Chain A
Amino acid sequence: MAASAPAATVGAAAVWGQLMRQRRGLLGLGMIVVLALVAILAPWLAPHDPFSTSRNAFLPPGSAGHLLGTDHLGRDVLSGVIYGSRVSLIVGLAAAFTATVIGILIGAVSGFFGGLVDEILMRITELFQIIPRFVLALIVVAFFGSGLFNLILVIGILSWPQTARLVRSQFLRHRTLPYVDAARVLGMRPVRIIFREILPNVLAPVIVVASLDIAQAILLEASLGFFGLGDPNLRSWGGMLNTAQGFVQRAWWMSVFPGVAISLAVLGFNLFGDGLNDATDPRLRSGS
Chain B
Amino acid sequence: MTASPPARSPGASGGDVVLELRAVTTEIRSTRGRVRPVDGVSLTVHAGEVVGVVGESGSGKSMTAFSVLQLFPTKAARVIAGEVLLAGRDLLTLRPEALRRVRGREVAMIFQDAASYLNPVLTVGAQIEQQLQAHDMARGAQVRVAELLRDVGLTPEVAKRYPHELSGGQCQRVGIASALACSPALVIADEPTTALDVTIQAQVLRLLARLQREHDLALLLITHDLGVVAEVCDRVYVMYAGQIVEEAPVERLFAEPQHPYTQGLLAGVLDLLDPKPIQAAIKGSVPDLRDPPSGCRFHPRCPHVMPRCSSDVPPLVLRGETRSACWLHDEADASQGTPT
Interface residues of A (CB under 8 A from B): 1-6, 9, 11, 177-179, 181-189, 192, 196-197, 200-201
CA distance A181 to B111 in the complex (A): 10
CA distance A177 to B109 in the complex (A): 16
- Are A200 and B103 in contact, with the CB atoms below 8 A? no
- Are A179 and B130 in contact, with the CB atoms below 8 A? no
Which of A2, A5, A186, A201 sits near B131, CB closer than 8 Å?
A: A186
Chain B residues contacting A5 (CB-CB under 8 Å) are: 115-116, 120, 163-164
In the complex formed, the residue of B with least CB distance to A5 is B120
In the complex formed, the residue of A with least CB distance to B101 is A187
| B254 interfacial contact with A, CB 8 Å | no
In the complex formed, the residue of B with least CB distance to A179 is B119
How many A-B Cβ pairs are below 8 Å?
85
- Are A188 and B116 in contact, with the CB atoms below 8 A? no
CA distance A186 to B133 in the complex (A): 11
Chain A residues contacting B104 (CB-CB under 8 Å) are: 185-188
Chain A residues contacting B113 (CB-CB under 8 Å) are: 1, 4, 178
In the complex formed, the residue of B with least CB distance to A185 is B109
CA distance A197 to B163 in the complex (A): 14
* Given A5-B163, A184-B103, A178 contacting B111 (CB threshold 8 A): yes
Which of B103, B120, B122, B162 sits near A186, CB closer than 8 Å?
A: B103
Chain B residues contacting A9 (CB-CB under 8 Å) are: 120-121, 164
Interface residues of B (CB under 8 A from A): 69, 71, 73, 100-105, 108-109, 111, 113, 115-122, 130-131, 133-135, 162-164, 168, 175, 178-179, 195
- Are B116 and A192 in contact, with the CB atoms below 8 A? no
- Are B134 and A186 in contact, with the CB atoms below 8 A? yes
- Are B71 and A181 in contact, with the CB atoms below 8 A? yes
CA distance A182 to B130 in the complex (A): 12
- Are B102 and A187 in contact, with the CB atoms below 8 A? yes
A111 to chain B, nearest CB (A): 15
CA distance A181 to B103 in the complex (A): 12
In the complex formed, the residue of B with least CB distance to A9 is B120
- Are B115 and A4 in contact, with the CB atoms below 8 A? yes
CA distance A178 to B133 in the complex (A): 20
Which of A2, A6, A183, A184 sits near B120, CB closer than 8 Å?
A: A6
**A5-B115, A182-B109, A192-B133 provided; 6 other pairs, C-beta below 8 A?**
A1-B113, A5-B116, A6-B120, A186-B131, A187-B100, A200-B119
Chain A residues contacting B195 (CB-CB under 8 Å) are: 1
Task: Offer 6 A-B interface pairs, CB within 8 angstroms, sorted by A.
Answer: A3-B115, A178-B113, A182-B117, A183-B119, A188-B100, A188-B131
CA distance A2 to B116 in the complex (A): 8
